[in-house]
Structure 1
Amino acid sequence: MTMAGRATDPGAEAGLSERLSAGAQALGLGLTADRQGLLLRFLAMLVHWNRAYNLTAVRDPLEMVAKHLLDSLAIHDFLFGDRVLDVGTGAGLPGIPLAILSPERRFWLLDSNGKKVRFVRQVVLELGLANVEPVQSRIETYRPQGKFSTIVSRAVAADDILRAPTAQWLARPGRLLLMKGRETEEPLDTSAFSAAAPRVHRLSVPFLDVSRHLIEIRSD
């Protein structure tokens, strides 16, 4: 495997592998050699495609390990059930890393951006991810064929997710997981999901100094 940019030599590739391994260990996740290999191949594709398609503002592969791979994997233990929808997946985040780590689950990766969905489709094809289905659609026109046990979003604003028909898509019981930066004190209208208040979890992402939080909303 070769990496674009700074990761064009075996030493740089080893550095990426070591950082990913150390970060996964810090998160308490056991990465097998094949799972780690798939994650690094996904990273290589993201670096390569990013040159032409501007999939992410992060250019440095070493930064991508923390800001994209480990940040995505940090919510792994909050996943519930076996059907997961990633809303506004962009370049496949957090859906692709989570799908690689959880081959027993099925993931639907939803985005309206054609070039990003094309990238995700290519990742699915090249990595042989049989448990991932890319979907190009706007949130408001998406009509899923079934309900999801977990719905996750990393890039879409919380209010936009809550205004969308996500409550209709979520199974009962189910989990809506909203990945955010700084903790917000603004109240969220979660009445369509449950009478229980949202749970806010502070995430500690290895090699990432910025604040990260997860808003967990449960449907009962």
Structure 2
Amino acid sequence: MEEMTAEEGVAAGRIFGDRLELARRYVGHLATSGIERGLIGPREVPRLWNRHVLNCAVVAELIDHGAKVADVGSGAGLPGLCLAIARPDLYLTLIEPLERRVTWLEEVVMDLGLDNVEIIRSRAEAAVGKVECSVVTARAVSALNTLLPLTIPLLGGHGELLAIKGRSAAEEIDKAAKVIKKLGGVQTDVLIAGAEILAEPTTVVRVKVARR
């Protein structure tokens, strides 16, 4: 398993605290069975901590204590499992349509003994009304204008979407303006998570939703 750099070790310690060993074990799964089963590309191994796990885990600082979170298109557990490890007070529902990914997620959750995670094999649109959440997260699922109709309905008219994005975040918001309004978005922001912890902080688009 790829070891952390000194900088990554400091950041991981701050983010995961006394659950750092769980995070290490999770990265171990990513670097072995995650690659073997095609959830992570082999070239990503040297970047697992920095580009993936820490990048996702810092989003926890944007989520209220005790929140119920639905993670859409969980794949390799990014960001869902990172959040579940970093924040045992949160309750995560991982929504993933592909069986092989669901099986892998179930094995990892069982091995890590995470009791704040539920996994649902479903497309996001089919999970509407079946999941109770105040926050929806997503990473690398699709552009914002197509992501919004898949995620916002899960909130049942109240809550927020936290979408991990790159440098094109503001541009994506502009393109999705009509969709945001149509789906009940009342406030949209580009937030930076982990600014004091990571050399490359995480860009997050937050869309707050409220019934009119």
The 1:194–1:125 alpha-carbon spacing in structure 2 relative to 1, beyond 3 Å, is: same
Structure 1 moving runs of 4+ over 4 Å: none
Separation of aligned partners in 2, 1:140 and 1:94: 19
Aligned match of 1:187 in 175, 191, 196?
175
Contact 1:66–1:207 at 8 Å: present in 2 too? no
Gapped regions of structure 1 (runs ≥ 5): 8-14
Contact 2:69–2:134 at 8 Å: present in 1 too? yes
Separation of aligned partners in 1, 2:153 and 2:34: 34
1:64 aligns with 2:48: yes
Moved more, 69-78 or 91-100: 69-78
Q: Deviations over 1:120-168 (max 9, x none)?
A: 111110000010111111123224434311001002122222122x333
Aligned match of 2:61 in 77, 80, 86?
77
Contact 1:83–1:107 at 8 Å: present in 2 too? yes
* 1:78 partner amino acid: L
The equivalences for 1:68-107 within 5 A come to 68-80=52-64, 82-107=67-92
Separation of aligned partners in 1, 2:205 and 2:15: 24
Report the aligned-residue RMSD: 2.4
Gapped regions of structure 2 (runs ≥ 5): none
The equivalences for 1:46-195 within 5 A come to 46-57=30-41, 59-80=43-64, 82-157=67-142, 158-164=144-150, 166-170=151-155, 173-183=158-168, 184-185=170-171, 186-188=174-176, 189-191=179-181, 192-195=183-186
Separation of aligned partners in 2, 1:30 and 1:68: 14
Displacement of 1:206 in angstroms is 2.5
Q: Answer 1 or 2: which has greater helix percent.
A: 2
> Identity of paired residues, percent?
26
Q: Deviations over 1:21-67 (max 9, x none)?
A: 32246xxx45323x100000000011111342121125454410011
Q: Deviations over 1:52-97 (max 9, x none)?
A: 2121125454410011111111211111352000001110000101
Tell me which residue corresponds to 1:206: 198
Contact 2:186–2:207 at 8 Å: present in 1 too? no
Displacement of 1:105 in angstroms is 1.3
Separation of aligned partners in 2, 1:39 and 1:20: 12
Contact 1:193–1:217 at 8 Å: present in 2 too? no
Contact 1:47–1:59 at 8 Å: present in 2 too? no
